[in-house]
Amino acid sequence: MQLTGYRPAKLEIYREALRHSSVTSVQSGKRSRHTNDNERLEFLGDAILDAVVADMLFKRYPFKEEGFMTEMRTRIVSRSQLSHLAMKIGLVQYMEIHPDVLRNPHAMKVVGCNALEALIGAVYLDKGYQKTALFIGRKLIDQYLDLEKIMETEISYKARLIKWSQKAQKKISFESEAVIQGKNQKLHKVRLLIDEQELLSEINHSKKVAEELASEKACGLLSV
């Protein structure tokens, strides 16, 4: 497969990874059982990506402390970096996407990065952890990301807020719920809680973007 460098053994998994939710058939308000979109694989790929990047950073920076590795992982798996990687490998051109979504610039900002996570989930199910780690490390990170430059960039607001909470001995948590808007518009409402008390909320097409926007507002309110 041109995208991963591996010959797929389970082709249908990759088709699912490249199928946006906008093209799945809807019956009685529910998606049909015979046509799956890439959201479940996106969930799996997100977790695998975090694990692989953490593993990579642990091995490549043996003398760096936990805080450094946490910040670096946050930067590497950010929405902007994943969108950049998806663009570099031309991921969107292989996808099944409804024309309405293709014409929506806001929606297209997150389609690629979500599909990349789904693709990672597909590689993991088809080839296992080791080959997935090689795909992420060699095909994506080493080829298209400059880790030295990433180290110099500003830390994400979410990571900054978590770092503050650790020093202040506060518990930070995010709670999310899906909000349906129209036929093909699924939004995520994220509530930011400090010590179980809601501070604020944010809504976005991407749960991670909503968390980042909520964290940015919280950093302003808390002067972090």
- Mean pLDDT by groups of 10 residues along the chain of 224 residues: 88 93 59 70 96 95 84 86 92 89 78 94 97 96 90 76 90 88 74 94 83 87 86
Query: Which pLDDT score, from 0 to 100, does residue 183 have?
Result: 62
Contact 1, 17 (CB under 8 A): no
Q: In this structure, what token pair is assigned to residue 192? A: 């930011």
Q: Which amino acids are annotated catalytic?
A: 46, 117
Which domains, ranges and CATH numbers included, belong to the chain? Answer: 11-153 (1.10.1520.10), 160-222 (3.30.160.20)
CA distance 86 to 156: 20
Burial 121-151 (b: 16+ CB within 10 A, else e): bbbbbbbeeeebbbbbbebbbeeebeeeeee
pTM, to two decimals: 0.68
CA distance 84 to 94: 16
